[in-house]
């Protein structure tokens, strides 16, 4: 993967943490990263549509995706500069009245955003943050090696670590081998579930493997099937297992998946979509209030081969997460809602991965490779794994470093 594409992937990776975060350093040093991350999130969601004429539901739905209206506007200006959208305004340039969508494929989207970041970024902290995450996407590193390898001064490093810990992008643990401080990213649990060392301090390896086998035999293991499993509860909190949340008629439910090493950076996006699709179907299988799903694989095959799932009263909420990722459209049919598959190459790969996970508990490795706005970006209820973990950690407040406290104070006083 070239440097520009890799940068774009990292910017998307940090979005799910930064979009929930605010503060002096984030709004000054990480503002471009935050805007571009939201731009990618919006672009990948609307890419299969042509025109958005009604902006009110667009902004409402962006808010449900944790992207505020001002941030969504900023993201659209970035996408316009990239040539991914064309914006038409009312009188003046304060309010957008129409969005024409010309988003390219995923690789070109990431590459374009990466190139844009290189040309527009003025923050050394933001650039070094992406460099750190690039290292950690391969495997965890000793903190001292990251600091020396990237020529970081300790104050800058402390500020990056504080921001990224708060956004659930970075964390540290002590190596059981040599007691060195190890830095890793919970974002890359698919590549590196190395926080397992921390888990194994309190649980033996045999119990952990039994818990993982439970998930492997039922990918998308739902609430109610692991609540008494202390190993899995601790694994969620530590970021060892991918955990998605879906909200529908029976309330917010979590679904667990096995961690996976060696996932390519672009493939990880497809894997996340496959897990979202499985989570939506598992919700219907385990928590539907009216008609439960008895054969998830048959339902997904019907969705793809027939092109739609027949109308159901609960489909509007249950499949919103899949719609927000551009996998399906939800079409009103009387008092019910049909789920229609968006047929493109990326979504076919997603379905293939989902079916493999349902059938064999794993998935093979792939190489990197006119709807009005009311029918897209409808408010969704999926929580990205980074967001899910952030909710788990919210009660465990961390203490900011002296460098970060001083930097915030200087920013508030207007001192550069």
- The better pLDDT of the pair 129, 298 is held by 129
Compute the distance between CA of residue 267 and CA of residue 137 in angstroms, rounded to an integer. 13
Other CB atoms within a 10 A radius of the CB of residue 412 amount to 9
Total count of domains within the chain: 2
Residue 187 lies in a domain: no
Between β-strands 308-312 and 141-142, what pairing exists: parallel, antiparallel or unpaired? Answer: unpaired
- The better pLDDT of the pair 409, 378 is held by 409
Residue 50 lies in a domain: yes
Q: Phi/psi zone of residue 278: left (φ > 0), alpha (ψ -120 to 50 degrees), beta?
A: alpha
Between β-strands 251-256 and 308-312, what pairing exists: parallel, antiparallel or unpaired? Answer: unpaired
Q: What is the mean pLDDT of residues 123-142?
A: 86
Question: Are 259 and 137 contained in the same domain?
Answer: no
Helix (H, G, I), strand (E, B) or coil at 135: helix
- Pick the closest to residue 220 from 271, 275, 297, 273 (CA basis): 275
Question: Are 8 and 97 contained in the same domain?
Answer: yes
Q: What is the mean pLDDT of residues 79-102?
A: 90
Contact (CB, 8 A) for 97 and 89: yes
Which tokens hold the place of 139? 């495997």
Question: Are 399 and 336 contained in the same domain?
Answer: no
* pLDDT recorded at residue 366: 43
Residues 6+ apart with CB under 8 A from 312: 290, 291, 336, 337
Residue 369 pLDDT > 50: no
For 363, the enclosing helix (H) or strand (E) is none
Question: Are 370 and 409 contained in the same domain?
Answer: no
Q: How confident is the model over 35-81, as pLDDT tens digits?
A: 999 999 888 778 777 888 888 878 876 876 788 999 999 999 999 99
Question: Are 53 and 159 contained in the same domain?
Answer: yes
Burial class of residue 205, CB neighbours in 10 A (0-12, 13-18, 19+): exposed
Which residues span the domain enclosing 111? 3-177+392-413
First CA to last CA across the chain, in angstroms?
Answer: 36
The whole-chain average pLDDT of the chain stands at 81
Burial class of residue 155, CB neighbours in 10 A (0-12, 13-18, 19+): middle
* pLDDT recorded at residue 168: 84
Residue 218 lies in a domain: yes
Contact (CB, 8 A) for 161 and 233: no
DSSP string, 20-71: T--SHHHHHHSHHHHHHHHHHHHHHHHTT--EE--HHHHHHHHHHTT--HHH
Phi, psi of 77 (to 5 degrees): -65, -35
- Catalogue the E-assigned strands of 109-224: 141-142, 171-174, 181-184, 221-222
User: Of the given ranges (185-194, 312-321, 324-333, 364-373), which has the lowest mean pLDDT?
Assistant: 364-373
Which tokens hold the place of 311? 């109308």
* pLDDT recorded at residue 266: 64
Compute the distance between CA of residue 411 and CA of residue 416 in angstroms, rounded to an integer. 7
Q: How sure is the predictor about 289, in pLDDT bands with cuts at 50, 70 and 90? A: low
Residue 335 lies in a domain: yes
Question: Are 406 and 329 contained in the same domain?
Answer: no
Residue 182 lies in a domain: no
Residues 6+ apart with CB under 8 A from 348: 304
* pLDDT recorded at residue 413: 61
Question: Are 53 and 168 contained in the same domain?
Answer: yes
Residue 177 pLDDT > 80: no
Residue 64 lies in a domain: yes
Residue 368 pLDDT > 70: no
- The better pLDDT of the pair 207, 413 is held by 207
Residue 330 lies in a domain: yes
For 7, the enclosing helix (H) or strand (E) is helix 3-18
Compute the distance between CA of residue 66 and CA of residue 322 in angstroms, rounded to an integer. 16
Q: What is the mean pLDDT of residues 185-205?
A: 69
Residue 375 lies in a domain: yes
Question: Are 137 and 267 contained in the same domain?
Answer: no
* pLDDT recorded at residue 46: 80
Q: How confident is the model over 240-284, as pLDDT tens digits?
A: 788 888 877 788 888 998 876 555 556 777 888 899 999 988 888
Tell me, rounded to whole angstroms, the distance of Cα 86 from its chain centroid. Answer: 26
Query: Edge-to-edge strands of the sheet including 181-184?
Result: 141-142, 181-184, 171-174
Question: Are 304 and 403 contained in the same domain?
Answer: no
The helix/strand count (H/E) of the chain reads as 19, 12
| Of the ranges 33-37, 198-202, 342-346, the best mean pLDDT one | 33-37
User: Of the given ranges (37-46, 91-100, 281-290, 303-312), which has the lowest mean pLDDT?
Assistant: 281-290
* pLDDT recorded at residue 3: 85
Question: Are 209 and 267 contained in the same domain?
Answer: yes
Question: Are 78 and 159 contained in the same domain?
Answer: yes
Question: Are 149 and 222 contained in the same domain?
Answer: no
Q: How confident is the model over 33-42, as pLDDT tens digits?
A: 999 999 998 8
| Of the ranges 21-30, 136-145, 400-409, the best mean pLDDT one | 21-30
């Amino acid at each position: 993967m070239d440097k520009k594409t890799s940068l774009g992937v990292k910017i998307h990776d940090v979005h799910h943490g930064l979009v929930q975060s605010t503060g002096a350093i984030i709004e000054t040093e990480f503002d471009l990263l935050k805007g571009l991350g939201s731009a990618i999130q919006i672009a990948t969601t609307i890419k299969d549509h042509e025109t958005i004429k009604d902006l009110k539901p667009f902004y409402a739905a962006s808010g449900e995706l944790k992207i505020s209206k001002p941030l969504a506007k900023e993201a659209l200006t970035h996408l316009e500069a990239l040539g991914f959208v064309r914006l038409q305004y009312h009188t003046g340039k304060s309010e957008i009245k129409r969005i024409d969508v010309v988003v390219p494929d995923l690789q070109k989207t990431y590459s374009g955003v990466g190139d844009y970041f290189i040309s527009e970024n003025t923050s050394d902290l933001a650039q070094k943050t992406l460099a750190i995450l690039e290292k950690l996407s391969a495997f965890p590193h000793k903190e001292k090696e990251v600091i020396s390898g990237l020529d970081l001064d300790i104050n800058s490093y402390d500020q990056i670590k504080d921001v990224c810990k708060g956004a659930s992008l970075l964390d540290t643990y002590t190596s059981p081998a040599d007691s060195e401080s190890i830095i890793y990213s919970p974002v890359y649990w698919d590549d590196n579930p190395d926080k397992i060392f921390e888990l194994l301090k309190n649980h033996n390896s045999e119990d952990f493997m039994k818990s993982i086998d439970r998930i492997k035999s039922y990918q998308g293991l739902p609430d109610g099937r692991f609540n008494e499993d202390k190993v899995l509860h601790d694994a969620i909190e530590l970021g060892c297992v991918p955990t998605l949340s879906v909200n529908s008629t029976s309330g917010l439910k979590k679904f667990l998946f096995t961690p996976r090493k060696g996932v390519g950076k672009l493939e990880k996006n497809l894997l996340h979509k496959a897990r979202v699709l499985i989570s939506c179907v598992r919700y219907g299988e385990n928590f539907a209030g009216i008609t439960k799903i008895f054969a998830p694989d048959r339902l997904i095959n019907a969705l793809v081969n027939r092109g739609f799932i027949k109308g159901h009263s609960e489909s509007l909420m249950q499949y919103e997460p899949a719609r927000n990722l551009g996998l399906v459209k939800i079409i009103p049919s009387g008092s019910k809602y049909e789920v229609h598959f968006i047929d493109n190459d990326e979504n076919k790969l997603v379905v293939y991965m989902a079916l493999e996970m349902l059938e064999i508990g794993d998935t093979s490795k792939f190489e990197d490779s006119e709807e009005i706005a009311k029918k897209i970006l409808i408010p969704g209820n999926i929580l990205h794994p980074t967001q899910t973990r952030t909710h788990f950690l919210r009660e465990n407040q961390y203490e900011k470093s002296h460098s970060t406290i001083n930097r915030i104070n200087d920013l508030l006083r207007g001192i550069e």
